[in-house]
A = this chain, B = another copy of it.
Amino acid sequence: MLREMKLNPAELERVANLFRAFAEPTRLAILQELKAGERSVSEIVDSLHTSQANVSKQLKQLFDAGVVSRRKQGTQVIYGIADEMIFELCRMVCEKLNRDAVKPAELKF
């Protein structure tokens, strides 16, 4: 049971909110960095082309969505991937984009 139930508006909102976490290039770039391992905020800032304030804000969104984890280490805050399903999601999206594109260049998150 429960199989074919339709989600109510509040549930749809929650699903949409989680998808929204991935619907922004800067946040995806952050997730790509974290894929290689935990990073402090300043390490992420150094690897991206945006401000520290912006990185902090995007990290907050990812954290609130349950996508990344964090812990304090002295004066630093170390972020990591909270759920590996993220990469499965990105992989599936990339595969679809590759299917749809006629181009030979393959995307791989």
Partner-B contacts on A (CB < 8 A): 2-7, 9, 11-20, 22-25, 27-29, 32, 36, 66, 83, 85, 88-90, 92-97, 99-100, 106-109
Each complex incorporates copies of this chain amounting to 2
Q: Are B97 and A92 in contact (CB under 8 A)?
A: no
Q: Are B83 and A15 in contact (CB under 8 A)?
A: no
* Chain B contacts for A16, CB-based, 8 A: 22-25, 27-28
Q: Are A96 and B25 in contact (CB under 8 A)?
A: no
Q: Are B12 and A93 in contact (CB under 8 A)?
A: no
How far, in whole Å, are A4 and B28 apart by their CA atoms in the complex? 15
How far, in whole Å, are A40 and B59 apart by their CA atoms in the complex? 41
* Chain B contacts for A94, CB-based, 8 A: 15
